[in-house]
Amino acid sequence: MKIVTWNINGVRARLGNLTHWLSESQPDIACLQEIKTVDDQFPRAEVEALGYNVETHGQKGFNGVAILSKLPFDEVNRGLPGDDADEQARFIEGVFSTDRGALRVVSLYLPNGNPIDTEKFPYKLSWMERLQRWTKQRLELEEALVLAGDYNVIPEPKDARHPENWLGDALFQPETRQAFRRLKSLGLTEAVRAVTDATDVYTFWDYQAGAWQKNNGIRIDHLLLSPEAADVLVSASIEKHVRAWEKPSDHVPVAIDLNLGLPVKAAA
């Protein structure tokens, strides 16, 4: 089963790219971030026409997450628990049935946190703490769990072409990286790093200063796997070529293949 995460940076602005990519890449489950639209304005019909079920947690103008699935949803949960006052649309969980039991897939868009001398950085760290608490509870179910999304975390210096340029950025702060390590230490496997230790492996290139042409990238889009998911991990890859398309997102899709022994079911 192919599961992919992609920060699309505006689904209506890049609908052509989305439908072309879905047809080309053929993910079984696609997790989108920064859809930047309310639920009823998501281009549902165009996506459903390609054989996908669609669930969204949207917000006007910014944020917003979605899960597109060729499998029917057994359950959908919106919003990260732990702060009733948090109205930002950054988290959606879908539950699916497989031959090996339940599969839980989360599409998440972790706060950026910049500038670090504002309330945005504590919000980022608080959100990561909430995610850690939620994940610990979900892991007790001993099910295949995939936490897929734009984490806005550069885990290690090798995950940036020029790490020295990110020293003052929330994505590379020691507190941010420590929170990411605490999350992984619950027993999660980071899919891309499970298959390669290579440098020069990025998922984001800024629109400015020729970053794409110079390969001045960072790796901030991740898929974290529970032990039950990691045990059936076949491969992980970055679909870098999508960044060269016309009107691209500044992120590219990151894909994993899990051997769940599941024949693809038609969308309901």
Q: Which residues are annotated as a binding site for Mg(2+)?
A: 7, 34, 150, 152, 250-251
End-to-end CA distance of the chain: 18
List active site positions.
109, 150, 251
Q: What count of Cα atoms within 13 Å lies in the side-chain half-sphere of residue 216?
A: 13
Read off φ and ψ for residue 252, nearest 5 degrees.
-125, 160
Closest CA to 174 of 194, 188, 153, 193: 153
Q: How far is the C-alpha of 68 from the C-alpha of 28, rounded, in Å?
A: 8
DSSP string, 26-53: --SEEEEE---S-GGGS-HHHHHTTT-E
Closest CA to 86 of 134, 44, 29: 134
Q: Which residues are annotated as a binding site?
A: 7, 34, 150, 152, 250-251
